């Protein structure tokens, strides 16, 4: 059986069904991502508004982070690794719990931003990030071009800037920091389009088993991927657009 799509081309019923499933899958991915972003934003605001809570993360007298502050800073990396490599063994409910906890920890970590930068510049940067992310998400979802090779280049660039950031931790070069920031914006802008296309393909290959536990876990893992793209793009843009207090 064939039906005509809005471009005038004929597609099979199976292809149409795959497209519908992909849309449902992507809507779940973006729903989980939006939920995580909301949890992070509320947590960041809550901690930034409470001197007592901030004091648990940083010693204002010395300007150094407390033990809890260091744990909050690096714990999200552990959660990402746990969800990624423990995907097969973890249940959907555990994946949800880990994802929400990860969002809370990110909010605690990002609360420093609201202390360092003015609220107006943070909101402005968030709006710019949302616009760029939205545009690239649409590009990734609608383009017919295979972005696999492009994504591989972006991933190599990502490892490159991670290495450069580690080196600059010791060099403390403002020039290198500026270059890394520019590359970071470009890389995570490109990765957004690549990841959306990759997730769309995953959704199209699922079939009709949207209630399957593996599918639910895939939607959470996909939301984690896009969440990281958005947050990193936001942080790199903040280096240019943020006004310090």
pLDDT score at 10 = 47
| Residue pLDDT, tens place only, 112-129 | 898 899 999 999 999 999
The model carries a pTM of 0.89
Burial status of residue 10 (CB atoms within 10 A of its CB: 0-12, 13-18, 19 or more): exposed
Percent of the chain with pLDDT over 90: 74
| Residue 117, beta-bridge partner list | 244
For residue 152, pLDDT over 60 is answered with yes
Give 2's pLDDT tier (boundaries 50, 70, 90).
very low
Any residues with CB less than 8 A from the CB of 135 and at least 6 apart, and which?
Answer: none
For residue 46, pLDDT over 80 is answered with yes
In whole numbers, what is the pLDDT of the chain averaged over residues? 89
Give 208's pLDDT tier (boundaries 50, 70, 90).
low
Domain ranges of the chain: 2-241
């Amino acid at each position: 059986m064939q039906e005509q799509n809005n471009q005038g081309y004929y597609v099979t019923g199976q292809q149409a069904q795959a497209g519908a499933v992909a849309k449902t899958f992507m809507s779940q991915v973006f729903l989980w991502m939006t939920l995580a972003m909301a949890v992070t934003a509320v947590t960041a605001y809550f901690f930034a508004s409470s001197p007592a809570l901030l004091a648990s993360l940083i010693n204002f007298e010395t300007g150094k982070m407390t033990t809890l502050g260091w744990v909050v800073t690096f714990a999200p990396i552990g959660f990402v690794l746990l969800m990624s490599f423990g995907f097969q063994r973890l249940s959907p409910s555990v994946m949800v719990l880990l994802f929400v906890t990860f969002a809370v920890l990110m909010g605690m970590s990002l609360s420093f931003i609201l202390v360092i930068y003015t609220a107006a510049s943070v909101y402005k940067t968030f709006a710019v990030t949302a616009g760029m992310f939205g545009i690239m998400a649409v590009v990734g979802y609608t383009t017919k071009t295979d972005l696999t090779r492009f994504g591989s280049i972006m991933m190599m660039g990502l490892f490159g800037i991670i290495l450069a950031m580690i080196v600059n931790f010791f060099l403390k070069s403002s020039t290198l920091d500026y270059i890394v920031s520019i590359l970071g914006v470009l890389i995570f802008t490109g990765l957004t389009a690549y990841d959306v296309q990759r997730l769309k393909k995953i959704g199209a290959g699922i079939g009709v088993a949207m209630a399957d536990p593996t599918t639910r876990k895939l939607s959470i893992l996909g939301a984690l991927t896009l969440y990281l793209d958005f947050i990193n793009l936001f942080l790199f843009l903040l280096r240019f657009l943020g006004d310090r207090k």
